Amino acid sequence: MTSGGSFFITTPIYYPSDVPHIGHGYTTVAVDALARWHRQSGDDTWMLTGTDEHGQKMMRAAAANGVSPQEWVDKLVAEEWSPLLETLDVANDDFIRTTQERHETRAQKFWQSIYDRGYIYAGEYEALYCVGCEEFKPDAEIVEGTGAFEGLMVCAIHSKPLELLHEKNYFFKLSEFSDQLIELYRSQPDFVRPESAKNEVIAFVQQGLKDLSISRSAFDWGIPIPWDSSHVLYVWIDALLNYVTGVGYGSDEEDFQRRWPGYHVVGKDILRFHAVIWPAMLMAAGLDVPRGVFAHGWLLVGGEKMSKSKATGIAPTTLVDTFGSDAFRFYFLSAIAFGQDGSFSWEDMAARYHAELANGFGNLASRSIAMTAKYFDGSVPEPAEYTDADREIQKLVADAAANADAAIERFRIDQAISEVWTIVDALNGYITETEPWVLAKDDAQRDRLATVIYTCLEGLRALAVLLSPIMPESTAKLWSALGGAGEVAKQPVREAGAWGQLAPGTQTSKLAPLFPRIEED
């Protein structure tokens, strides 16, 4: 891919009704890694994240805590959701809150335009609503309750009773968009990824779409409907709009043209909103649909989706305090195939931390830098003649870099990391085979030693650049120890595989262990 194109990517906006758990952290670091990769490739990159602050769930959380909804979201965003981004070392370009003026006025403008185009009508509605999902549930997701909820209909995701709502609502003519949506999935085969998610969406649309209730009148915590202020916008159709209100829709045309359309990464639980309702809303408004929607899997605990409401949520800080933010990012992005579910366990995380980060990457960096200090006074040696073994490393680095970039294009962060990891494994094997400590004892092997150490350092240079989007903190330390000029996060990632960028004579410096061993109690 050539550099310089626009790359706009979003996380879902999170409900700040409660504190974040590692499932939210997972989505956020995945999007951040993709954004960092593109930014580092010279693409005109923009990463947007934020919070979804209206709706009944928020009202109830606030009431349960004896404060107003606005006070509640202000507190949770300031104390929990903004700090999460720092905890996880996320380099988002913007943070949108749906209670911000910029969002509210632009969202109203959007719905007014859909109203003006004739896609809205008023009607009566009675259906079962899940406050956890903030959604009228389709029949397929309504199940009979068990235990305390025996005899009640419950949500298949939240296992909590559904509420029967009867209201006068405004409706969006979603049903008119089935054919256009099917045509979209056909003509843009990458619109929904992975393949399994796409098939699910197509099957859902093929069943026929019902019109969507877009307003609520039983409470007022939301954005007033522009043509009837006795209703507020249904929280989902307010929230989805953040993806365009956050980049200038309706007031900064230049910004909007520059960024939109973008990519959305979402958990599979909210795929339909993004791959069906959202593109239909955009079609109705006469705007471009997203470039694509990628649905990732769930972090599971005991085989079920981790969730705060089921008391299975683990706070990201619990892991970051022990392992560090880089290890958090590395673990979730490498251990789970992006698009599939994955189970988290502390033991698995600790085992991978020690095997792959401490003993694999960290040790490679420490010993290469230490040998440079010991044998060459810390100065990057000039390589002499390359042997086949050296050339194999060079080819492997070039291939890994190209394959990793291709994997990122497919949104397969896990595959990109495993490509890059072939360099870590190959260099560790190379050191074992070339035995630089033996070469160092023989003056006649001085040139060979220089080539071997250069190969290690140059391989590490490529690793620092390629892993910077995944592990910004440790790669910055490594880059500085290698004597790299400027910031590692600014080194062109698509050129990382070209051999020979580290200049002989560069002064390296001491490197503290990147991933210290963790003594478990």
Active site residues: 21, 24, 130, 133, 155, 158, 305, 308
Q: Please, which residue, 252 or 269, has the CB nearer to ligand MSP? A: 269
Taking the complex as a whole, how short is the minimal distance between the CB of residue 293 and ligand MSP, in angstroms? 11
Taking the complex as a whole, how short is the minimal distance between the CB of residue 35 and ligand MSP, in angstroms? 16
- Rounded to an integer, what distance in angstroms lies between the CA atom of residue 63 and that of residue 5? 46
Q: Contact at 8 Å (CB) between 340 and 297?
A: yes
Q: Contact at 8 Å (CB) between 134 and 56?
A: yes
Cα atoms in the Cβ-side hemisphere of radius 13 Å centred on 517: 6
- Rounded to an integer, what distance in angstroms lies between the CA atom of residue 107 and that of residue 33? 29
- Rounded to an integer, what distance in angstroms lies between the CA atom of residue 241 and that of residue 273? 11
Residues that bind ligand MSP (CB under 6 A): 12-15, 23-24, 26-27, 52, 239-240, 266-267, 269-270, 298-299, 305-307
Taking the complex as a whole, how short is the minimal distance between the CB of residue 299 and ligand MSP, in angstroms? 4
Give the DSSP letter of residue 315.
-
Taking the complex as a whole, how short is the minimal distance between the CB of residue 145 and ligand MSP, in angstroms? 21
- Rounded to an integer, what distance in angstroms lies between the CA atom of residue 36 and that of residue 224? 37
- Rounded to an integer, what distance in angstroms lies between the CA atom of residue 511 and that of residue 167? 65
Q: Which residues pair with residue 154 across a beta bridge?
A: 143, 161
Taking the complex as a whole, how short is the minimal distance between the CB of residue 46 and ligand MSP, in angstroms? 17
10 Å CB burial of residue 503 (0-12, 13-18, 19+) is exposed
Q: Please, which residue, 84 or 154, has the CB nearer to ligand MSP? A: 84
- Rounded to an integer, what distance in angstroms lies between the CA atom of residue 42 and that of residue 291? 19
Taking the complex as a whole, how short is the minimal distance between the CB of residue 398 and ligand MSP, in angstroms? 34
- Rounded to an integer, what distance in angstroms lies between the CA atom of residue 209 and that of residue 176? 8
- Phi then psi for 135, rounded to 5 degrees? -155, 140
Q: Please, which residue, 344 or 515, has the CB nearer to ligand MSP? A: 344
Q: Please, which residue, 54 or 494, has the CB nearer to ligand MSP? A: 54
Q: Please, which residue, 50 or 459, has the CB nearer to ligand MSP? A: 50
Q: Please, which residue, 129 or 430, has the CB nearer to ligand MSP? A: 129
Report helix, strand or coil for 268: helix
Q: Sheet of 163-172: strands edge to edge?
A: 135-136, 120-130, 163-172, 212-213
Taking the complex as a whole, how short is the minimal distance between the CB of residue 26 and ligand MSP, in angstroms? 5
Alpha-helical (H) ranges within 77-173 are 82-87, 101-116
Taking the complex as a whole, how short is the minimal distance between the CB of residue 307 and ligand MSP, in angstroms? 6
Distance of CA 379 to the CA centre of its chain: 39
- Rounded to an integer, what distance in angstroms lies between the CA atom of residue 379 and that of residue 505? 5
Q: Which residues pair with residue 125 across a beta bridge?
A: 167
Q: Interhelix angle for 278-285 vs 101-116, to 10°?
A: 70
Residue 57 token pair: 């769930």
Report helix, strand or coil for 222: coil
Q: Please, which residue, 39 or 158, has the CB nearer to ligand MSP? A: 158
Residue 394 token pair: 């060079």
Q: Please, which residue, 222 or 267, has the CB nearer to ligand MSP? A: 267
**How many helices and strands in the chain, by DSSP H and E?**
21, 18
- Rounded to an integer, what distance in angstroms lies between the CA atom of residue 33 and that of residue 238? 27
Q: Please, which residue, 80 or 211, has the CB nearer to ligand MSP? A: 80
Taking the complex as a whole, how short is the minimal distance between the CB of residue 287 and ligand MSP, in angstroms? 16
